[in-house]
Amino acid sequence: MSTDDPEITTVTSKGQITIPSRLRKQFGLEKGTKLMVVPTDYGLVLKKLELPSVEEFQQRVEERAETVDLSMDEINELVHEARGSDE
């Protein structure tokens, strides 16, 4: 089967679909992989989200914190406020 050959899947009563294993392997989709669903004029497009690890995210925050006049405690507080958590 060529990589351009369409495959058929079915939507379950819970709104779930199974992505065929060949395509999961081809696109590196594993359990827990986040996908963005984008509506278009032609149908739905699934886009794999490449999210940084917690360590990578923390490093990015620390690097940017050096250019902004905020302490790590203030940054953590802003993150928790944005998430709506009480941590």
Structural domains in the chain, sorted by start: 1-49 (2.10.260.10), 54-85 (no CATH)
85 pLDDT more than 70? no
> Using 50, 70 and 90 to split pLDDT, how confident is the model at 70?
confident
pLDDT the model gives residue 55: 87
Task: Name 43's bridge partners.
Answer: 40
pLDDT the model gives residue 68: 77
pLDDT the model gives residue 17: 95
CB neighbour class for 29 (10 Å; exposed up to 12, middle 13-18, buried from 19): middle
pTM over the 0.75 mark? no
54 pLDDT more than 80? yes
pLDDT digits (tens, 9 = 90+) for 22-51: 999 999 999 989 999 999 999 999 999 887
